Structure formats: structure tokens, C-alpha cells
């Protein structure tokens, strides 16, 4: 397992060993013992989405009962974005962009961050584990194209849900202490 730190403290890229042969490949997609050496968390829920090309999901977070997310793109290619919403952080309001297009690569998004992704290929399958359950009443959306964030998405006219169209800019959104 290879660990790569990003510019946001706590957000890391985890690359697992991929065993290839003439039959295909094998990945140990989750090993609690191995991940415990890197992450001191307990996962309670698995989620899976399939998105067509040019779909943007996010930037989502839960203001109460924040979720840590272990994200992987099982099939296809996504541009994944994480924004630090912890007001006490020296990186508050900053973001990191990670390309995910291989099932052996995972992105750890700790609680306190907004998360979203843009699909670069059709039928991109994204799977992620969470450290807390989904609570609709605490669900928030940070505006994906807030000029104060200056995120370089690949599209200026992505396919968005109604919820994502109504996201709040950084100066108005709920934040973490």
C-alpha cells in the first residue's frame, strides 16, 4: 500500500497493490487491518453511484454528524474535489483536485471537508465508505462554481441535480469550527 499526502492536511491518496496476470487483475479492495495503520476510523455505510459523462455531484457535506469518506472510482474516470471547511484550519477554503480512474486508488476525505466529483467518462462507477450515516436534515451543498473557490472543473456546463444547482457559496455556507 502506497500513501500520498495532498496539500490539504488529512486528505490522502491510498494506492493498493494490483496483481495482474493473463486472467485479469486482483485487488484487496478493503482490509481493515492494513487501513488501521493509516486511518483510525470505523466505516458504517457503503455507497455506490453510477453517473453519465459530464455529471457533477457535489460539493456535499454534513454539518452535523460529518462523514469521513473513502472514495474510489471502480470503473470510468472522475475528477474528485475536496474543499476544507474547517474554520480553524490553516487551509480553510482551499481545495485539492485528484484524478481517480483506477480501482486500486482511493481518496480519503476526512470529516470537515466538502466533497464532489465530475465524471469524465460515461457510466463512471464511484464507490465510497462513510464513517457516519447519511442524515438528510444535516446535508449541505457548497456551490460547485463559487468564484471564491476557483476550482478548475473540466466543464462550465455540467449536468447538475436541483440540489447541487442551489449550493451556497463559501461565504454563506455552514462551516465547521
CA distance 125 to 51: 7
What gap in Å lies between CA 70 and CA 41, rounded to an integer?
10
Q: Which residues of the chain, if any, have pLDDT below 70?
A: none
Q: What is the pLDDT of residue 46?
A: 97
115 in catalytic set: no
Residue the block writes with cell 486511518: 39
- Residue pLDDT, tens place only, 150-165: 999 987 899 999 999 9
- Mind listing the domains of the chain with CATH numbers? 2-165 (2.60.120.10)
Q: Which of 48, 60, 118, 135 is catalytic?
A: 60
Query: pTM for the full model?
Result: 0.94
Among 61, 95, 118, 128, the active-site one is: 128
From CA 31, how far away is CA 103, in angstroms rounded? 14
Residue 74 per-residue DSSP state: E
User: What pLDDT sits at residue 156?
Assistant: 81
48 is catalytic: no
31 three-class SS: coil
Q: What is the pLDDT of residue 100?
A: 98
Separation of alpha carbons 129 and 133, rounded Å: 10
Amino acid at each position: 500500500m502506497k500513501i500520498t499526502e495532498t496539500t490539504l492536511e488529512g486528505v490522502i491518496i491510498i494506492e493498493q497493490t494490483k496483481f495482474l496476470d493473463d486472467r485479469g487483475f486482483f485487488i484487496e479492495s478493503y482490509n481493515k487491518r492494513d487501513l488501521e495503520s493509516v486511518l483510525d476510523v470505523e466505516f458504517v455505510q457503503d455507497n455506490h453511484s453510477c453517473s453519465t459523462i459530464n455529471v457533477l455531484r457535489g460539493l456535499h457535506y454534513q454539518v452535523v454528524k460529518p462523514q469521513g469518506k473513502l472514495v474510489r472510482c471502480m470503473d470510468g474516470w472522475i475528477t474528485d474535489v475536496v474543499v476544507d471547511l474547517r474554520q480553524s484550519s490553516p487551509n480553510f477554503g482551499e481545495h485539492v483536485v485528484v484524478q481517480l480512474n483506477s480501482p486500486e486508488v482511493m481518496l480519503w476525505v476526512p470529516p470537515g471537508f466538502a466533497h464532489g466529483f465530475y465524471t469524465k467518462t460515461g457510466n463512471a462507477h464511484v464507490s465510497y465508505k462513510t464513517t457516519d450515516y447519511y442524515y438528510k436534515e444535516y446535508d449541505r451543498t457548497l456551490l460547485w462554481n463559487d468564484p471564491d473557490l476557483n476550482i478548475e472543473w473540466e466543464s462550465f456546463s455540467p449536468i447538475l441535480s436541483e440540489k447541487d444547482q442551489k449550493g451556497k457559496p463559501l461565504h454563506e455556507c455552514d462551516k465547521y469550527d
